[in-house]
Amino acid sequence: MITSLNGTPLSPLTFGTMQFGGTADAQESRAMFDAARAAGITHFDTAFVYTGGASETLLGDMAQADREGLIIATKAAYEGGSGRANILTGFATSQQRLKMDVVDILYLHRFDDNTPLQESFDALATLKHEGRIRHIGVSNFAAWQVMKAQAVAAQFGIRIDMIQPMHSLVKRQAEVEIFPMAVDQAIEVVPYSPLGGGLLTGKYAQGGSGRLTEDHRYAARYNVGWMHDAAAKLSALSADQGTDPATLAVAWAMAHPARPRPIVSARSAAQLAPSLDALKFEMTPDLYDRITAFSVTPPPATDRIEEA
């Protein structure tokens, strides 16, 4: 079981600070942090590459007042490969920015085909055995990559405790192998983008702007007709339910049987509020099934649909 330094458990939602120091200035970042804490969030996520280091710096300052009761995660080696030197030097910088002798979770930010896993996990083992990190995670790994890495980690007397895949109503590939693998291996699932890059908020259908209009990667990722149809159906259902589409999207993501802890984020406290409202929303089995039907359920890993 993953807890904070004083034993506080992981919250059902995770707050992602990717916007801190970027689209959210210091004042708005503080307002979002306070709103997350007021909602009971104990788990905060950042990365070495976010906003040129401002995200880690701002989060580190905010976390000091209740450091023992928070679970802080950062990520290494998004750029420069997962070699030992890059992991160790990058994490040393992250520690300085966060002002923390111990960071609760360190993720490998993505799989590196060009570096042996033995080298990467040797570095992570060094940090773990020195007491500088408490838990190890991986982000953007396929299930087979996690299992391969888990076997390598065991050689160093460590294990993978967390995984960060993409998952939302319109991105459900993680349900095929990653979620079942994580349940089997007792790995906490902390999915990102439960709002589908903002698509599931309904704002783009109303002419709004955001990642889908400002980042070509997100535009390509969600440029599929049925995804936009699903977003429209979710918006219509949210109106019938008297709630916000973002609340439904996040509550649906939380309700998966694997019990993931989705990462919510925003540019302002006002934008964040509907996602935090998911913590209080009652997602009934019937409503969950209705929302699930809006999207394409991926086939099982064996592709034997008749056995699903």
Q: What is the pLDDT of residue 206?
A: 76
Sign of CA dihedral 41, 254, 281, 168: positive
Q: What is the pLDDT of residue 164?
A: 98
Domain presence at residue 149: yes
Distance of alpha carbon 89 from alpha carbon 85, whole angstroms: 6
CB 70 within 8 A of CB 40: no
Domain presence at residue 296: no
C-alpha pair distances (Å), 12 with each of 125, 156, 237: 28, 30, 24
Number of independent structural domains in the chain: 1
The residue range of the domain holding 47 is 1-164
Q: For the domain that residue 119 is a member of, what is the CATH number?
A: 3.20.20.100
Distance of alpha carbon 191 from alpha carbon 167, whole angstroms: 6
Angle at alpha carbon of residue 25, lines to 19 and 29, rounded to 5°: 65
Sign of CA dihedral 56, 59, 64, 66: negative
Counting every residue written for the chain, the total comes to 308
Distance of alpha carbon 96 from alpha carbon 82, whole angstroms: 20
Marked catalytic residue, from 50, 78, 192, 218:
50
Distance of alpha carbon 285 from alpha carbon 242, whole angstroms: 18
The predicted-structure confidence for 107-157, as pLDDT tens digits, reads as follows 999 999 999 999 999 999 999 999 999 999 999 999 999 999 999 999 999
Model pTM?
A: 0.95
3-class secondary structure, 127: helix
Q: What is the pLDDT of residue 222?
A: 87
Angle at alpha carbon of residue 178, lines to 306 and 181, rounded to 5°: 90
User: Percent of the chain having pLDDT more than 70?
Assistant: 100
Distance of alpha carbon 17 from alpha carbon 213, whole angstroms: 21
CB 71 within 8 A of CB 33: no
Q: What is the pLDDT of residue 228?
A: 93
218 is catalytic: no
Domain presence at residue 206: no
Q: Helix H segments across the chain?
A: 26-38, 54-63, 84-98, 117-129, 143-155, 178-185, 211-214, 216-221, 225-241, 245-254, 269-276, 285-292
Q: Helix H segments across 195-244?
A: 211-214, 216-221, 225-241
Of 173, 185, 201, the C-alpha closest to 149 is 185
Distance of alpha carbon 110 from alpha carbon 95, whole angstroms: 20
Domain presence at residue 156: yes
Domain presence at residue 84: yes
Domain presence at residue 227: no
The predicted-structure confidence for 230-273, as pLDDT tens digits, reads as follows 999 999 999 999 999 999 999 999 999 999 999 999 999 999 99
- How many helices (H) and strands (E) the chain has is answered by 12, 8
Decide if pLDDT at 305 tops 80: no
Q: What value does the mean pLDDT of the chain take?
A: 95
